[in-house]
């Protein structure tokens, strides 16, 4: 029995595949240090959810505080998107380092929709 992995599936040649996750699992949760409307849910690795802060152009993991319905960013996981990088590239790097269990539709669009014109 094979288990579908989220990121990346390197067991066969061809495009990477991702386990589905769909929408934000934490729509009613607030963020410590961030405005909720400025943050996009990316997906989950084996232990925690990841988010993208649009104003800061950063990817980060968050600790889930169920009692307070609050997401607390883990500063040691922050990864800025560099001036010459695309968000999709950063998502790939984070996925390779952590192993995505699932990705949101939003994250999937950024991974699959990167403009790679001129690259071979």
Asked, for residue 6, whether it belongs to a domain, the answer is: no
Indicate whether 7 belongs to any domain: no
Confidence of residue 13 (pLDDT cuts 50, 70, 90): very low
Cβ partners under 8 Å of residue 109, min gap 6 = none
Count of domains observed in the chain: 1
pLDDT tens sequence across 39-82: 999 999 989 999 999 999 999 999 999 999 999 999 999 999 99
Q: Are 73 and 33 in contact (CB under 8 A)?
A: yes
Q: Which domain holds residue 40?
A: 25-112
What is the separation of C-alpha 61 from the centre of its chain, rounded to a whole number of angstroms?
8
* Beta strands 58-65 and 49-53, pairing class: antiparallel
The answer as to whether 34 is a domain residue is yes
What's the half-sphere exposure (Cβ side, CA atoms, 13 Å) at 46? 5
Q: Is 40 helix (H, G, I), strand (E, B) or coil?
A: strand
Beta bridge partners of 103: 20, 43
| 1 assigned to some structural domain | no
């Amino acid at each position: 029995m094979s288990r579908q992995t989220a990121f990346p599936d390197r067991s066969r040649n061809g495009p990477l595949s991702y386990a589905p996750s769909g929408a934000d699992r934490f729509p009613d949760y607030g963020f410590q240090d961030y405005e909720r409307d400025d943050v996009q849910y990316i997906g989950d690795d084996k232990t925690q959810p990841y988010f993208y802060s649009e104003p800061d152009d950063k990817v980060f993991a968050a600790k889930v505080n169920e009692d307070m319905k609050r997401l607390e960013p883990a500063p040691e996981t922050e990864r800025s998107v560099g001036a010459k990088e695309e968000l999709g590239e950063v998502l790939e790097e984070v996925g390779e380092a952590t192993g995505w269990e699932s990705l949101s539709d939003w994250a999937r669009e950024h991974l699959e929709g990167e403009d790679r014109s001129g690259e071979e």
